[in-house]
Structure 1
């Protein structure tokens, strides 16, 4: 099923007004397997009511999976939030038996902010619904490594012949990079493409560096949306 995009158009458009009143508290959601239920806070910063449609997807941003293909129940899926008010969205485990027990699983939490109807005196505006989408990590208990150790124990290799950086993640966690800096004390070339590395996987990044890479400084986004910085020598 295609994701709906709801919008209002007036008969005569003189200018546009982009509306984004509904916000999600936090930049990511962590769902520990020991919890039967977690909550996500939505807030309406506008002085008018807003309607929020909420759903999960498993990686395809253009498709809403059917309920039987997701391991969680989300409620309420459609809610009106009053002016400058908040609303808790509950996520409940339905069936996670098929998910891996030795690593995290990734889903996405979506919110469509549907603005209130335009007043008569504001009908020369284009009011567009805004969609927000953040990561939801389902995290099994008793993984074989701490999250901090996962951040510190990435392995970086750089090939001067192919100008390719290879990053190996031997941990059960998804690693989200804010930036990767090549030779931070010298050339200080920054890649801020927001790469994400899956558990027990390898990521290859092409670069245009003409110099020998001997050191990498990388910034990782942690569970709370904060940045953690690490510097590591590079194997060539």
Structure 2
């Protein structure tokens, strides 16, 4: 999950900022760490909850991978309802994501990103009595569009990864039609952070190990749980 703070200053400049109020943490919680959109679903739902003590304004949108793209310039085959809404403290909101007609690959998953931007309310007295720093928190999670009828399963995809020794690196090949979100990989007592592997693609890890060595790794499944896996280097 990616959280990006966006700051907005009201009145004065940094040279004159002596008293600043800061909303230091996000109040909106997304149920789940990823969204799976089966191609035969009419829509999928994502639950948001405001666990803070103040109302917040939430803007939601989907992008194709460009983290800096603004919602009005993004063209994706999905709709979100509601795109903008207010959520009071201890209340929730359900986002409904629907698919539009599009020619997405039918033989492998496609990756998109769900963005939720939380803008906290400003107390009226703060506007008139003190300088104020408002933090808008953006949460960004993966959304996988999964065509119907793909062979194997996501769990089998992780087990089907091919690990190969390559000098000072280890090559990891994903022959499956699914994205596999690796977390870490360990060989010969050295652990490195891993990455997501797209369908039918390869990544390299900075691990030095010989063919026949054991690899202990982990990946994130559809439910957001971290699952261990083991393999032998080829």
- Where 1:148 maps in the other structure, the secondary structure is helix
Shift of the 20–120 alpha-carbon distance from structure 1 to 2, 3 Å rule, reads: same
Task: Give the Cα separation in 1 of the matches to 2:73 and 2:79.
Answer: 8
What is the aligned length? 223
TM-score, normalization: structure 1? 0.87
Post-superposition offset of 1:20: 1.0
Which of 172, 179, 184 lines up with 1:179 in the alignment?
184
Matched residue, 1:189? 190
TM-score, normalization: structure 2? 0.87
Give RMSD over aligned pairs: 2.3
Matched residue, 1:111? 116
1:158, 1:164 within 8 Å by CA — same for their partners in 2?
yes
- Where 2:52 maps in the other structure, the secondary structure is coil
Post-superposition offset of 1:7: 2.9
Task: Give the Cα separation in 2 of the matches to 1:66 and 1:125.
Answer: 28
CA deviation digits over 1:156-201, x for unaligned, max 9? 00123xx011011010000001111113xxxx21112x40100011
Which of 160, 165, 169 lines up with 1:164 in the alignment?
169
Task: Give the Cα separation in 2 of the matches to 1:64 and 1:204.
Answer: 31
65-74 or 146-155: which moved more? Answer: 65-74
Q: Write 1 or 2 for the structure with the bigger share of strand.
A: 2
Task: Give the Cα separation in 1 of the matches to 2:132 and 2:71.
Answer: 33
1:215, 1:231 within 8 Å by CA — same for their partners in 2?
yes
Q: Which runs of 5+ in 1 are unaligned?
A: none
- Where 1:120 maps in the other structure, the secondary structure is helix
Matched residue, 2:10? 9
- Where 1:7 maps in the other structure, the secondary structure is strand
Shift of the 232–68 alpha-carbon distance from structure 1 to 2, 3 Å rule, reads: closer
Task: Give the Cα separation in 1 of the matches to 2:74 and 2:130.
Answer: 41
Shift of the 80–65 alpha-carbon distance from structure 1 to 2, 3 Å rule, reads: closer
Task: Give the Cα separation in 1 of the matches to 2:105 and 2:229.
Answer: 29
CA deviation digits over 1:202-230, x for unaligned, max 9? 112234x4x64711111010000001111
Post-superposition offset of 1:94: 1.0
Post-superposition offset of 1:39: 0.8
Residues 1:130 and 2:130 are matched in the alignment = no
Task: Give the Cα separation in 2 of the matches to 1:196 and 1:65.
Answer: 25
1:22, 1:44 within 8 Å by CA — same for their partners in 2?
yes
Task: Give the Cα separation in 2 of the matches to 1:199 and 1:229.
Answer: 20
Which of 35, 50, 72 lines up with 2:78 in the alignment?
72
Shift of the 173–13 alpha-carbon distance from structure 1 to 2, 3 Å rule, reads: farther
1:10, 1:126 within 8 Å by CA — same for their partners in 2?
no
Q: Which runs of 5+ in 2 are unaligned?
A: none
Shift of the 204–35 alpha-carbon distance from structure 1 to 2, 3 Å rule, reads: same
Matched residue, 1:149? 156
Shift of the 10–83 alpha-carbon distance from structure 1 to 2, 3 Å rule, reads: farther
